[in-house]
Structure 1
Amino acid sequence: MTKAIRFSRTGGPEVLEYVDVNVGAPGPGEATVRHEAIGLNFIDVYFRTGLYPQPLPSGLGQEGAGVVEAVGEGVTHVKPGDRVAYAGRPNGAYSEKRNMPAAILLKLPDNIGFDTAAAMMLQGMTVQYLFHRTAQLKAGDTILFHAAAGGVGLIACQWAKALGVNLIGTAGSDEKAALAKAHGAAHVINYNTENFTQRVKEITNGQGVSVVYDSIGKDTFIGSLDSLAPLGLMVSFGNASGPVDPFSLGELQSRGSLFVTRPTLFTYVAKRPDLEACAASLFDVVGSGKVKIDINQRYNLADVAQAHIDLEARKTTGSTIILP
C-alpha cells in the first residue's frame, strides 16, 4: 500500500486525510513515479476550499520530483530509472507514489536535486512565462511584484535582477521585506505600514510601473491598477486574499488605456514544445546559479494539514516542500 492525501469534501485543512491507496500498473500514456519530494503551492488551497472546483473525492498537489518506476504503453520520452520532475494536473502529488500522465514529466538535469526540483517547478515556470511571454521584460524595465518574499516572489526577485529589471516588491513585514531585498529586489514596500500605490509613484517619480504582477487578488487589485503607467499591463495570476470583484472596463480607460490579463501556467505549457522550452529556461537559470531556490519549510506528508495552516497564515517564506 502507498500513503497519500485524499479529501472527500471541501473546507479547511482538517478535510485532508492521510490514507492508504493502491497504485497499480501504469495505463497507456502513464508513468509510475516514486516521489522523493513534493511541492506545496497556494493553488492547492484553492482546490481544497472549492474555489477551483473538481470532482470529489480527490488527491491534491500538482508538483513533485522523483524516479520513474514503470511506464505504460506509448511512453517513450521517459523510462524506468529516470530522474524526473513535473508541475501540472491532475491533482495527486501529495503521495508516496502515483500513476500520472507521462506527458508532463521532464527529465531532471544531473545538477538539480529532487528537493530543489520539487520546490521550483510550478513557481519557477510561473516566473518564466510571466517574465518572458506574458510580458517580454527587458533591462531597464520597472515592475511591481506583490508577495515578493514568497516562493514565486523570491524567484522573481532574482530573475529580475539577472535580466536587469528593477523590481519593486511588496511584503507583509520588515523581515520579509529584507528577505526580498537580499534576493535582488530594487525596492521593497511593507504594505502593512506603507501605502504601496503611493510608494510606487514616489519611487517612479510619479510615472508608475510598466507591469504589475499580482497574486494577492481582491485586496490589492485596484491599488495595482493605480500603480501602473499609461498603457501598462496588469497581470492578475492569483487570489490569495480572495477573487477579484467584478469591475467596469471603464476603470482601465480612465487610468490610461491599461491592459489586464488573468493567465495560468497550464495554458502556457499546454503544448509539449512550450513545456520543454519553459523548463529548459528554468533549468538553465537555476543551474547557472543566477537563481537559487530557497527551501525554508519542510513538512512530512502526514503533516500536510499543518503545512496548509501555515501557508494560509502567511507564516512561510520562500519555497516549501513535503517529504513522503
Structure 2
Amino acid sequence: MSDTARTVVIHEVGGPEVLRLEDRPLGEPGPGEVRIRHHACGLNFIDIYQRTGLYPMELPHALGMEAAGVIEAVGEGVTHLQPGDRAAYAAAPSGAYAEARLMPGAQVCPLPEGIEFETAAAAMLKGMTVEYLFHRTTSLHRGDTVLFHAAAGGVGLIACQWAKSEGIRLIGTAGTDEKCDLALAHGAAHCINYQTEDFTARVRDLTKGEGVDAVMDAVGADTFEGSLDSLKPLGMMISFGNASGPVPPVNIGILGQKGSLKITRPTLFTHISRHETCQAMARRLFGKITGSEVKIRIDQRFPLEDVADAHRALEARQTTGSTVLTP
C-alpha cells in the first residue's frame, strides 16, 4: 500500500491554473481519525470560493469537500466505522481531491450498499445542504411554496425532487429554457428563465400576488434584491451561496419595510458539526436516494488530473446536475 496519495493542492489563490497535483504523505490515522481511499470525489462551488480566496485558507492547502470510498484504517475512538466499510462524507477540512486521505472520522458516514460511490460523492454536500434547507432552517410544510435559484444545478436538481417528495411547491429559476426544462423534469412546479423574464414579477404572478414562504438563494449578488421582493410578509430569505459574488452590505431596516422579512446565512458545516446530527442528515439523504425519491444526476466526469477543466466548466455555468472527479 502506497504511503503517498495524489492530491490537488493550491499554493496561491487565483484561477484554475493554480491547481497542482502533488504526491502527499498519508500515514496512519490518529485518535478520532480515519484513512479513506476514494473511489470518487465531488465538485462544488465552495471549492472555487476557496481557490479564488473568497473563503480564505492558510496556504498551501488541499481542495475538495466531499468524496466516497472505502475505509482503510481507523484510529482510536472511532466506533461507527471499520476497515473495509464503504463510506462517504462532505466535511472540513478540505482535501477530498485526492486518491486517499486522513481526516476526522466524526463526519464520515457509513454508505449503504445500494448507493454507488459516484452517486454518493455527487450527493453528500449538495444533498445534506438540501436536507438542512428543507428541515433545519425555517419551518416548511406540505403546500408551502419556495423559490429556488439555479434550479438546474447540482443542489437545485436535488431540491426539485426533495420538494416534490415533501409536497412543497418549488418555483425554480435558471438561465436557459433547456435548464428550465431539466428542473421541471425533476419536480419543479414552475421554472423561470431569468434571462428572458423578470423572476420577481413572475413569482408574484404565480403566487397570485402573495409571494413565497421562503427563498433559497445560492446565486448571491445578482438575485438578492429580487429574492427579497419575492417573499410574502414574514417570509424567510435563505442566502446559502455566492455564485455571482458576495451580497453587498444590507440595511436591516429594509426587511421591515418589505414585510417583516427574516434572513439567514447558514452553512452546511455548522449543521454537521455534531456527529449525531451529521449522521442523521446523511441517513435522511440516503433514505431519499434508496427510496427513489431523489435521483442524483451526474452530467460531467473528469479524471483528477483534469480538475482545472472541471473548475472552468463550473465557473462558466456550463454544467448541469453534478460533477465528479475520478482518482
User: Structure 2 length normalisation: TM-score?
Assistant: 0.98
Aligned to 1:149: 152
2:39 equivalent to 1:71? no
User: Which residue of 2 is the match for residue 183 of structure 1?
Assistant: 186
Q: Which moved more, 1:24-33 or 1:260-269?
A: 24-33
Identity %: 61
Q: Decide which of 213, 224, 230 is 1:210's aligned counterpart.
A: 213
Residue 28 (structure 2) pairs with residue 25 (structure 1): yes
1:67, distance to aligned residue in structure 2 (A): 0.3
Q: Following superposition of structure 1 onto structure 2, how do residues 123-162 of structure 1 map, counting pairs within 5 Å? A: 123-162=126-165
Structure 2 counterpart of 1:224: 227
> SS at 1:134's partner residue?
coil
SS in 2 for 1:103: coil
Alignment of 1:113-128 (within 5 A): 113-128=116-131
The aligned length equals 324
Over residues 220-269 of structure 1, what are the superposed CA-to-partner deviations in whole Å (9 max), with x where a residue is unaligned? 00000000001000000000000000010111011000000000011112
Which 4+ residue blocks in structure 1 deviate beyond 6 angstroms?
none
Q: Take 1:276 and 1:20, find their aligned partners in 2: how far apart are those partners?
A: 31
In structure 2, the residue matched to 1:56 is 59
Report the counterpart of residue 36 of structure 1 in structure 2.
39
Return the match for 1:241 from 240, 244, 255: 244
SS in structure 2 of the partner of residue 135 of structure 1 = coil
Q: Which residue of 1 aligns with 2:314?
A: 311
CA distance in 2, matches of 1:150, 1:67: 28
- CA apart distance, 1:136: 2.7
Please tell me whether residue 284 in structure 1 is matched to residue 287 in structure 2: yes
Query: How many Å separate the matches in 2 of 1:291 and 1:176?
Result: 18
Structure 2 unmatched ranges of 5 or more? none
**Is 2:22 the counterpart of 1:45?**
no
TM-score (norm 1): 0.99
- Counterpart CA distance in 2 for 1:97 and 1:88 is 15
The alpha-carbon deviation at position 76 of structure 1 amounts to 1.9
2:107 touches 2:279 (CA, 8 Å); kept in 1?
Answer: no
Deviations along 1:137-159, whole A, 9 cap, x unmatched? Answer: 21111110000000000000001
2:19: which partner in 1? 16
Matched position secondary structure for 1:36: strand
Between the aligned partners of 2:106 and 2:210, the Cα distance in structure 1 is 44
Distance 1:48 1:186 in 2: 35
- 2: CA distance, partners of 1:276 / 1:25: 24
2:200 corresponds to which of 194, 197, 207: 197
**1:136 is matched by which residue type in structure 2?**
S
Deviations along 1:1-42, one digit per CA (max 9) or x if unpaired, are 321101100011100001112211122211110000001000
Q: Following the alignment from structure 1 to structure 2, what is the Cα–Cα distance between the partners of residues 161 and 70?
A: 40
1:90 — aligned with what? 93
- What CA distance in whole angstroms lies between the structure 2 residues aligned with 1:183 and 1:219? 25
SS of match in other structure, 1:322: strand
